[in-house]
Amino acid sequence: MVLSGIKIIELAGLAPGPLCGMILADFGAKVVRVDRTRIMTTVDVQGRGKRSIALDLKKPEGAEVLKKLCIQSDVLIEPFRKGVMEKLSLGPKDLLQQNSKLIYARLTGFGQNGRHASKAGHDINFISLAGLLSNFGRKGENPCAPVNLLGDFAGGGLMCAMGIILALFERTHSGKGQVIDASMVEGAAYCSSWLWKSQKLSLMDKPRGENILDSGAPFYETYKTSDGKYMAVGALEPQFYDRLIEGLGLNSSELPPQMSLSDWPELKRIFTKIFASKSQAVWCKIFDNIDACVTPVLSLQEASRYPHNQDRGSFITDEDGQVSPRPAPHLSRTPACVSLARDPKVGEHTEAVLMEYGFTREQINALQCAEVIELNGPKAKL
């Protein structure tokens, strides 16, 4: 696998850091998640392929343990707001001094400088300041966040993983590590470059809900079917629009032109009425054979059972029976080799990981007695 041999220390965070670590683990890195002590469970639902150690970083001996782990690792992912790591004497200066090859990835909302750098925030705050949230929602309604996909995951976890891979690549030439300042405001904005640049094309320059891709256009919309489900219509180009009209059983000569903006509300009414006349399954049958960019709107469960996704094996089931997406993209020679084991429990691998990193049984016992670490897993075989 592409990242075989790469050792990553991920300090446990809420959502973006865990995705970043999971992507790297899926592609072969050895990822150790550092959980807090005295917690019952983790909120990390993206623990696939990781191991967990429970370590109290507030204790000086705990910070020393992390330092020792980082000396022997390639990457550290830290998800705290600016200044937290420095307070623990675990900032980049402290760690890069000991391991100049370390890639120190700082995944925050607002970045390491600027007036909001020390403030707390969540996805909705980051995409609001990136100028993006103002674009989501229907005409006349409040902006509505697309769950936490854009800030936390596209702009956060994924961008940070890209930064780490870039830094690993660069390190093959320079032999040096570096610090990655991954701000979710900037990551989300960067992912959305098209939106910024398409203003010039007058594609997305009208108020929210009146543009071609934001529910303004009748041919890029969802429609309710007679059984209360939905179809997604993305018939943007004229050739697909013509086929949409055909599939709906309409006659284009009796309709206003596709790009007559003032007629869009009327076209939507017509399409709404027609879609409501048949069930989703019937519309699927009709549009399965027509190249019109029309698809069913599926729930997560339905998506994993959808024939095309089954053809490609797009979803996997782990040993706990939990279904999730398999890693993407596919690499032909060195594909991801995903773990089907259940996610790690907090501190399940403390002993095994510490031994692997050169701690002796005596040192581990002492750390345990001082409540610096917790051993919640089966004992390592000596």
Ligand X SMILES: C[C@H](CCC[C@H](C)C(=O)SCCNC(=O)CCNC(=O)[C@H](O)C(C)(C)COP(=O)(O)OP(=O)(O)OC[C@H]1O[C@@H](n2cnc3c(N)ncnc32)[C@H](O)[C@@H]1OP(=O)(O)O)[C@H]1CC[C@H]2[C@@H]3[C@H](O)C[C@@H]4C[C@H](O)CC[C@]4(C)[C@H]3C[C@H](O)[C@]12C
Contact between 16 and ligand X by CB under 6 A: the answer reads yes
- 122, 242, 263, 318: which is the annotated catalytic residue? 122
Contact between 36 and ligand X by CB under 6 A: the answer reads yes
User: Which segment (14-22, 164-172, 207-215, 346-354) binds ligand X by CB under 6 A?
Assistant: 14-22
Of 3 and 354, nearer to ligand X (C-beta) is 354
Kindly tell me which residue out of 152, 181, 186, 351 binds ligand X, with binding defined by CB under 6 A: 152
Of 122 and 224, nearer to ligand X (C-beta) is 122
- String of contacts with ligand X for each residue 280-319, x by CB under 6 A: ----------------------------------------
Our answer to whether residue 122 is catalytic in this structure is yes
- C-alpha distances (whole Å) from 5 to each of 28, 62, 72, 160, 171 are 8, 25, 12, 19, 14
Of 43 and 166, nearer to ligand X (C-beta) is 43
Q: Distance between CA atoms of 130 and 155, rounded to whole angstroms?
A: 10
User: Closest distance between ligand X and the C-beta of residue 83, in Å?
Assistant: 8
Q: Distance between CA atoms of 119 and 117, rounded to whole angstroms?
A: 6
User: Closest distance between ligand X and the C-beta of residue 14, in Å?
Assistant: 4
User: Which segment (10-18, 162-170, 211-219, 332-340) binds ligand X by CB under 6 A?
Assistant: 10-18
Our answer to whether residue 308 is catalytic in this structure is no
154's CB contacts (< 8 A; 6+ apart) are 187, 188, 191
User: Which segment (35-43, 96-104, 263-271, 370-378) binds ligand X by CB under 6 A?
Assistant: 35-43
Of 56 and 221, nearer to ligand X (C-beta) is 56
Question: HEC profile for the chain?
Answer: CCCCCCEEEEECCCCHHHHHHHHHHHCCCEEEEEECCCCCCCCCCCCCCEEEEEECCCCHHHHHHHHHHHHCCCEEEECCCCCHHHHCCCCHHHHHHHCCCCEEEEEECCCCCCCCCCCCCCHHHHHHHCCCHHHCCCCCCCCCCCCCHHHHHHHHHHHHHHHHHHHHHHHHHHCCCEEEEEEHHHHHHHHCHHHHHHHHHCCCCCCCCCCCCCCCCCCEEEEECCCCCEEEEECCCHHHHHHHHHHCCCCHHHCCCCCCHHHHHHHHHHHHHHHCCCCHHHHHHHHHCCCCCEEECCCHHHHHHCHHHHHHCCEEECCCCCEEECCCCCCCCCCCCCCCCCCCCCCCCHHHHHHHCCCCHHHHHHHHHCCCEECCCCCCCC
- 26, 44, 123, 152: which is the annotated catalytic residue? 152
CA-based end-to-end distance of the chain: 28
Contact between 28 and ligand X by CB under 6 A: the answer reads no
Contact between 129 and ligand X by CB under 6 A: the answer reads no
Angle, vertex CA 132, rays to CA 136 and CA 208, nearest 5? 40
Query: In the window 39-98, what residues touch ligand X (CB under 6 A)?
Result: 41, 43, 55-58, 79-81, 84, 87-88
Of 192 and 225, nearer to ligand X (C-beta) is 192
Number of residues that bind ligand X (CB under 6 A): 27
User: Closest distance between ligand X and the C-beta of residue 162, in Å?
Assistant: 17
Kindly tell me which residue out of 46, 148, 183, 192 binds ligand X, with binding defined by CB under 6 A: 148
Contact between 109 and ligand X by CB under 6 A: the answer reads yes
Of 80 and 230, nearer to ligand X (C-beta) is 80
User: Closest distance between ligand X and the C-beta of residue 114, in Å?
Assistant: 13
- String of contacts with ligand X for each residue 162-191, x by CB under 6 A: ------------------------------
Kindly tell me which residue out of 20, 23, 34, 189 binds ligand X, with binding defined by CB under 6 A: 34
Binding interface with ligand X (CB under 6 A) = 11, 13-16, 34, 36, 41, 43, 55-58, 79-81, 84, 87-88, 108-109, 120-123, 148, 152
Instruction: Return the active site residues.
Output: 122, 152
